[in-house]
């Protein structure tokens, strides 16, 4: 595989992006729930509810760490492996990414830091506002990434000058239908995923008879509600994306003529492996959605009969639901990205021209290094998430500070303090 840098670069990007997105999707799905929970806890000065916020917030941060690590690798990988993209489309494709880095991540990480360390050091509403900023910027970053990604699928708002793309219509760039449709679908599917995870973690604890201050009863209800709310908009916004199919981007013809484009697409053919992968991704996504709809309707029925959070078979079922939206999210992305082939920028730049001219050694080093780092970090993070979700509210990383009797790390007696 490493003899073909193109193949290894494509495969590597797909792997990193999929891993990155799994963590990002949970971030996007969980943030509004924490925001809402903290708002209610603050409004009512409700200590027990605040403890639930600390529990979900702990999971959020563990997950966020991996979002950062994988995001950094993605950003560097785009530079390292896809230099063709930057040479000709840097000013157009890179601009939204620059905004994402500056306007969103910079602010997001800074305010998340304030939120983590500000628990007992700032006013309650100021503290809530920190998370408001975190949530807003998380969605802003998703939007700007998708503007950049939408540009690849449907380049609008640009013209080609001296073989270089320049933005000549800022509004068209920012309101690219491919980006807006994807943003809507990503938002609802992330909420679906968040709801499924919240319900599953809550169900796990309820099944063990653990429900401090009723936080998991609330969790299972809120999670199920979120799932029910998001399941239909997900299919509607997903179905709407099909209107982009078969549409030529407005800038089509400015780099290659219509005949050249047809020839390139002809040469690529229909029956490539990538295409087959994409079709399977599509099927996984739709099948998962159908199963989630089933679970949602079933849960609504259970809820109507007052069995939600009590019937053990249902709690057991809920604990496995998150597999579905995770599979659907990866499948959906594989579908979207392979569907663009053979183009990296549709009708402008082929994937073969976009890849950096790497020696097999470089390709091998970069691939094995980052893939193994990702395997280790992703596994550790997933394990930690499950572990802390199971440990419950008193053991989370944001649990109220415990005081140590001894200076020694080993053999000390933690004293719980609120």
190-to-36, 250, 288, 311 alpha-carbon distances in Å: 16, 30, 14, 27
User: Angle between the 107-117 and 47-81 helix axes, to the nearest 10 degrees?
Assistant: 150
Q: How many residues make up the chain in this entry? A: 418
- Tokens, residue 11: 């495969």
Residue 24 CB, nearest distance to ligand HEM (Å)? Answer: 4
Best CA proximity match to 49, nearest among 203, 218, 179, 173: 218
Q: Compare residues 148 and 156 and give the one whose CB is closer to ligand HEM.
A: 148
CA atoms of 292 and 307, how far apart (whole Å): 19
User: Which residue do the tokens 């990296």 mark?
Assistant: 344
Binding to ligand HEM (CB under 6 A) within 257-276 occurs at: 274
Partner touching 170 among ligand HDD, another protein, ligand HEM, none, CB below 5 to 8 Å by kind: another protein
Best CA proximity match to 196, nearest among 328, 391, 286: 328
CA atoms of 27 and 392, how far apart (whole Å): 19
187 binds ligand HEM (CB under 6 A): no
Q: Compare residues 68 and 287 and give the one whose CB is closer to another protein.
A: 68
Between CA 268 and CA 275, with CA 274 as vertex, the angle to 5 degrees is 75
Best CA proximity match to 178, nearest among 129, 120, 240: 240
Partner touching 23 among another protein, ligand HEM, ligand HDD, none, CB below 5 to 8 Å by kind: ligand HEM
- Tokens, residue 263: 């020839």
Partner touching 384 among another protein, ligand HEM, ligand HDD, none, CB below 5 to 8 Å by kind: another protein
Q: Compare residues 148 and 366 and give the one whose CB is closer to ligand HEM.
A: 148
82 binds ligand HEM (CB under 6 A): yes
What one-character-per-residue DSSP string does 179-236 give? HHHHHHHHHHHHHHHHHHHHHHHHHHHHHTT--GGGHHHHHHHHHHHHHHHHHHHHHH
CA atoms of 267 and 269, how far apart (whole Å): 5
- The secondary structure of residue 410, as a DSSP letter, is T
Residue 30 CB, nearest distance to ligand HDD (Å)? Answer: 14
What would the x/- binding string for another protein be over residues 161 to 190, using CB under 8 A?
-----xxxxx--xx----------------
242 binds ligand HDD (CB under 6 A): yes
Binding to ligand HEM (CB under 6 A) within 272-311 occurs at: 274
329 binds ligand HDD (CB under 6 A): yes
What element of type H or E holds 122? none
124 binds another protein (CB under 8 A): no
Biggest CA pair distance of the chain: 78
Q: Binding segment for another protein among 160-168, 195-203, 229-237, 278-286 (CB under 8 A)? A: 160-168
CA atoms of 258 and 56, how far apart (whole Å): 53
Q: Compare residues 184 and 251 and give the one whose CB is closer to ligand HDD.
A: 184
Residue 191 CB, nearest distance to ligand HEM (Å)? Answer: 13
Q: Compare residues 102 and 236 and give the one whose CB is closer to another protein.
A: 102
129 binds another protein (CB under 8 A): no
Which residues sit at the interface with ligand HDD, rule CB under 6 A? 153, 182, 185-186, 189, 192-193, 234-235, 238-239, 241-242, 244, 285-286, 288-289, 292, 325, 328-329, 332-333, 335-336, 339
Which residues sit at the interface with ligand HEM, rule CB under 6 A? 10, 13-14, 17-18, 20-21, 23-24, 27-28, 64, 67-68, 71-72, 74-75, 78, 82, 85, 97, 105, 108-109, 138, 141-142, 145-146, 148-149, 152, 186, 274, 330, 333-334, 337-338, 340-341, 344, 351, 354
């Amino acid at each position: 595989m490493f003899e073909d840098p193109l193949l290894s670069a494509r495969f590597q990007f797909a792997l990193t992006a999929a891993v990155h997105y799994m963590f990002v999707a949970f971030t996007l799905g969980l943030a509004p729930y924490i925001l809402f929970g903290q708002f209610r806890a603050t409004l009512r000065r409700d200590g027990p509810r605040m403890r639930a916020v600390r529990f979900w917030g702990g999971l959020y941060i563990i997950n966020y760490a991996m979002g950062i690590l994988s995001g950094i690798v993605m950003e560097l990988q785009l530079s390292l492996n896809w230099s063709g993209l930057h040479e000709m489309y840097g000013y157009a494709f890179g601009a939204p990414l620059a905004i994402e880095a500056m306007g969103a991540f910079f602010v997001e990480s800074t305010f998340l830091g304030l939120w983590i360390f500000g628990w007992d050091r700032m006013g309650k509403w100021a503290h809530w506002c920190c998370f408001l900023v975190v949530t807003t910027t998380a969605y802003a970053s998703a939007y700007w990434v998708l503007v950049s990604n939408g540009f690849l699928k449907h380049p609008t708002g640009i013209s080609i000058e001296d073989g270089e793309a320049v933005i000549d219509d800022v509004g068209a760039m920012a309101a690219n239908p491919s980006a807006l449709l994807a943003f809507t679908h990503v938002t609802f599917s992330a909420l679906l995923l968040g709801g499924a995870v919240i319900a599953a973690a809550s169900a796990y604890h309820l099944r063990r008879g653990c429900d401090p201050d009723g936080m998991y009863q609330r969790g299972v209800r809120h999670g199920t509600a979120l799932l029910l709310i998001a399941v239909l908009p997900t299919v509607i916004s997903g179905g709407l994306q099909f209107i982009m199919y078969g549409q030529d981007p407005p800038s089509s013809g400015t780099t290659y003529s219509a005949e050249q484009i047809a020839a390139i697409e002809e040469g690529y053919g229909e029956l490539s492996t990538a295409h087959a992968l994409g079709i399977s991704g599509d099927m996984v996504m739709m099948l998962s959605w159908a199963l989630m709809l089933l679970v949602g309707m079933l849960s609504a029925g259970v809820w109507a009969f007052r069995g939600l959070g009590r019937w053990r078979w249902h709690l057991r079922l809920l604990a496995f639901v998150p597999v579905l939206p995770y599979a659907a999210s990866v499948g959906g992305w594989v579908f979207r990205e392979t569907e663009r082939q053979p183009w990296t920028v549709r009708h402008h730049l082929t994937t073969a021209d976009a890849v950096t001219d790497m020696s097999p050694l470089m390709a091998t080093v970069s691939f094995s290094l980052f893939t193994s780092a990702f395997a280790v970090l992703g596994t550790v993070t997933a394990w930690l998430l499950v572990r802390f979700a199971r440990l419950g509210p008193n053991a989370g990383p944001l649990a109220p500070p415990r005081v140590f009797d001894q200076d020694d790390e080993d053999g000390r007696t933690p004293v719980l303090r609120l």
